[in-house]
Amino acid sequence: MNERLISSALALGLVLALLIGAMIGPYPLSPGRIFGILAGDRSDPQAAVVLWNLRLPRVLAAAAVGGALAAAGAAYQTIFRNPLVSPDILGVSAGAGFGATLGILLGLPVMAIQMLGFGMGLLAVILVLGLSWALRGEGQILVMVLCGVAVGALAGAGISLVKLLADPDQQLPAITFWLMGSLAGIKRPDLWAASPAVLIGLAPLILLRWRIGLLSLGDDEARALGVEAGRLRLLVVACATLMTAAVTAMAGIVGWVGLMAPHMARLLVGPRFDRLLPAAALLGASFMVLTDLAARSLATMEIPLGVLTAVIGAPIFLWLLARRARIWAE
């Protein structure tokens, strides 16, 4: 009952965040007008264009980015039994970042840039999984994390090289801005491109959410409880990575949400993954919608999302760290 109450409150919070995000902007929209347009009212074509072509794609994209990163972070933390990992751990963000910056350098169209970012993010994970499999030892989880660090460093070197080669007037600002994360210029096709991958990644996590939680006990215990631990873990990694790569290709590198939202959710609903996953995803989505709202309305120019998430996320994370006994054991 309590669980259902919290989920409903979080879902309501997301709806409110989406509504507020859709209302505020250079062309303000009242809640009544928004519901009217959504219901098919065509009396104000300009407001309809603002809502359908600008506001809605943007708030929905923000929700998708925050929800996907938070869900992926909760999954990674649970299956690696490590409360300090996040979607960056497997080199996904850096790999996707390298792909997208390379696309910008080559002057590719936006869709191709996204595809390249997505492909490189997946490639980074395949590389990390392959390497950790080849170097397989007793501490396989540690090996995997360290392979992620190594592949991430390689991708980081690639990004530096691309920045060096980029045209300093046109491409370099675009690359820099993208690397800091931004939803400026999001259009409906961008959303259509990213959402299938997010949904395909999210569905198995939701369906299998209780069993996935058993992986937090470690392989031997999970297997002794009847779980095909190796296979399930691989599936979870693939799903979480797919979601991360898809939203990174759309919005650039947005840090902290994937680390922080699962921790906040754990404070609310506890560590059980079947409760943690929806709570973390809803919190992450609401947080990102509001952060993106701040990014586009605090100043005359857009503040990069990555900057804001770090400024908000770092203190919250430190606060969580101070209360760590409530969240994880020493």
Q: Which stretches of the chain bind another protein, using CB under 8 A?
A: 78, 81-83, 207-211, 213-214, 216-218, 220-221, 223-228, 266, 270-272, 274, 325-329
Closer residue to another protein in complex, CB, 25/270: 270
Q: Token pair of 265, please?
A: 């959710």
Q: How many CB atoms lie within 10 A of CB 278?
A: 22
Write down the least CB distance from residue 237 to another protein, Å. Answer: 18
Closer residue to another protein in complex, CB, 104/232: 232
Q: How far is CA 232 from the centre of its chain?
A: 21
Closer residue to another protein in complex, CB, 208/243: 208
Sequence length of the chain is: 330
CA-to-CA distance for 64 and 38, rounded, in angstroms?
20
Closer residue to another protein in complex, CB, 62/208: 208
Q: What is the three-class DSSP state of 185?
A: coil
DSSP conformational letter for 88? G
DSSP string, 160-171: HHHHHHS-TTTH
Q: Token pair of 89, please?
A: 């751990």
CA-to-CA distance for 141 and 188, rounded, in angstroms?
39
Q: How far is CA 89 from the centre of its chain?
A: 13
Closer residue to another protein in complex, CB, 144/305: 144
Write down the least CB distance from residue 211 to another protein, Å. Answer: 6
Write down the least CB distance from residue 259 to another protein, Å. Answer: 15
Closer residue to another protein in complex, CB, 153/203: 203
Closer residue to another protein in complex, CB, 213/304: 213
Write down the least CB distance from residue 15 to another protein, Å. Answer: 25
The one-letter code for the residue type at 74 is A
Closer residue to another protein in complex, CB, 99/262: 262
Write down the least CB distance from residue 67 to another protein, Å. Answer: 21
Write down the least CB distance from residue 279 to another protein, Å. Answer: 14
- Calculate the alpha carbon distances from 81 to 163, 178, 209, 328 in Å: 36, 31, 15, 10
Q: Report which of 248, 278, 255 is spatially closest to residue 265, judged by C-alpha positions.
A: 278
Write down the least CB distance from residue 325 to another protein, Å. Answer: 8
CA-to-CA distance for 33 and 19, rounded, in angstroms?
11
CA angle 10, 240, 310 (to 5 degrees): 65
CA-to-CA distance for 2 and 101, rounded, in angstroms?
46
Write down the least CB distance from residue 86 to another protein, Å. Answer: 15
